[in-house]
Chains A and B, each alone.
Chain A
């Protein structure tokens, strides 16, 4: 599903954020990406989203070499990836329903299909009765659930999360993790960056640890491995 071949990223100030990364993530896997601050985790995700270009190497996603993807094709590539951020990134002038529907409108989904799909997604994330509320009327946990519903809107084969529980209390964090686990069970690949030790330790998923731009550990059913 995802293959990194000799990927290096050097930022303009000659800072090496990633150096010679090789890895393989299979379809349906749930992968935690951990490591201290500045290790290169967000850089990894940005490369995957084609927000930045690698200095060296190739990234293959679903059989496509995305390093060679034409600029015009990038939006269509991104529609196949759901993204969830620490700060939710909902549109504040749109309701819960509209936020989810908008992701589908952008992807040229017909009104009929949008009307059918959005209630399903709201049911999945447990927000059926909040569809008319605006993001500022929701708790952090609820906002993150809207973001997950939006990420799922176009049936992506991959969901990328950059510290999705970073702004949430433990209870809400667990609710989000259960939701992501459900989604993963239905076949969606998940790559999640996190600093939450207890989550990683309890989920017993694959753990890839980065340090100073290098993979120092890659374990199935791994643990967080840092004290922070």
Chain B
């Protein structure tokens, strides 16, 4: 046990010595790992917030259905029943012409005199306010409603949520693409850093072989070096993302927006483990390639 710990300590010290020897490549490797994860992070921030927004918009989002004036009470109750039967519809509220006028007056407040003349001949239509289960169901539901008789006009938020989702999908593809390229570049840079470390140590490596060192005794410091590079890159990206996002959420006025930002803390807990794991994987893969190709034992 004592031997194992000593051995592991030796591997780490050797890999850190290698890192210290080659600063330029080390900075480049860590930088690209951090950049690729940073881009992934930007996308995740966007996606998390869009999801969050879609959820909160979805909860309040309604379909407004204006009815033709000639719709009778009987016909209206029939319509209400038909709409309730549409898949995903959870609630249908009827607003009469009178109620609509009351609401308008409330909205106008001091200026309610404008609506005064409407008492005699109310031009406001009767309507339904409909709620659906999920935002994705809105356009389907409003299409179903539009097929019914006696409908004057339908307002369904013009598919805001769907547009948001479509937008995030495009951003997702673009950022995965960019991240993929950067991940390849960082793997390549890490593997190159390890290659230089192997070359710098080739005299020591040949001596170790004469002394009877096993292949893995020689390989471990290089493999660990790569993993450390990946980990350092991921930690850097996490720090930059966390603090810049925290700054953003603290300084952009939420009142301007329909929804709340996802908190910096929950962003951190969402990305922490994933990013560290990805950094280690990129680093491990980079050193695996280098050790396989350049460490001839």
Of the residues A72, A77, A102, A111, contact of B211 by C-beta under 8 Å: A102
Most A C-beta atoms less than 10 A away, residue of B208, B211, B215: B211
Kindly state the separation between the CA atoms of A159 and B244 in the bound complex, as whole angstroms.
63
Kindly state the separation between the CA atoms of A90 and B203 in the bound complex, as whole angstroms.
10
B207 touches A76 (CB 8 A): no
Q: Is B6 an interface residue (CB 8 A)?
A: yes
Given contact pairs A76-B212, A79-B212, A106-B217, a sample of 6 additional A-B residue pairs in the complex whose CB atoms are under 8 Å apart:
A75-B212, A77-B212, A89-B206, A90-B207, A105-B6, A107-B211
0/1 per residue, B1-23, Cβ < 8 Å to A?
A: 01100110010000001000000
Closest to A78 in B: B212
Interface size counted on chain B using CB atoms at 8 A: 19
A49 touches B10 (CB 8 A): no
Q: A91-B204, A111-B6 are in contact. Are A83 and B210 (CB under 8 A)?
A: yes
Listed from nearest, the 9 A-B pairs whose CB atoms lie closest are A79-B212, A78-B212, A75-B212, A106-B213, A75-B214, A103-B211, A106-B211, A83-B210, A89-B207
Q: Is A108 an interface residue (CB 8 A)?
A: yes
Of the residues B2, B207, B209, B215, contact of A91 by C-beta under 8 Å: B207
Interchain nearest-CB distance for A173 vs B (Å): 22
Report which B residues bind A (CB closer than 8 A).
2-3, 6-7, 10, 17, 203-204, 206-215, 217
Most A C-beta atoms less than 10 A away, residue of B2, B17, B213, B217: B213
Interface size counted on chain A using CB atoms at 8 A: 22
Q: Is A110 an interface residue (CB 8 A)?
A: yes
Interchain nearest-CB distance for B210 vs A (Å): 5
Interchain nearest-CB distance for B96 vs A (Å): 88
B212 touches A111 (CB 8 A): no
Interface residues of B, dominant DSSP = helix
Of the residues B10, B17, B210, B213, contact of A89 by C-beta under 8 Å: B210
Report which A residues bind B (CB closer than 8 A).
49, 72, 75-79, 83, 89-91, 93, 102-103, 105-108, 110-111, 150, 154
B2 touches A75 (CB 8 A): no
For B207, list chain A residues within 8 Å (CB). Answer: 89-91
Interchain nearest-CB distance for B8 vs A (Å): 12
A106 touches B6 (CB 8 A): no
Kindly state the separation between the CA atoms of A106 and B270 in the bound complex, as whole angstroms.
43
Q: List 25 A-B contacts (CB under 8 A).
A: A72-B214, A75-B214, A75-B215, A76-B212, A77-B212, A78-B210, A78-B212, A79-B211, A83-B210, A89-B203, A89-B206, A89-B207, A90-B207, A93-B17, A103-B211, A105-B6, A106-B208, A106-B211, A106-B217, A107-B211, A107-B212, A111-B2, A111-B3, A111-B6, A150-B211
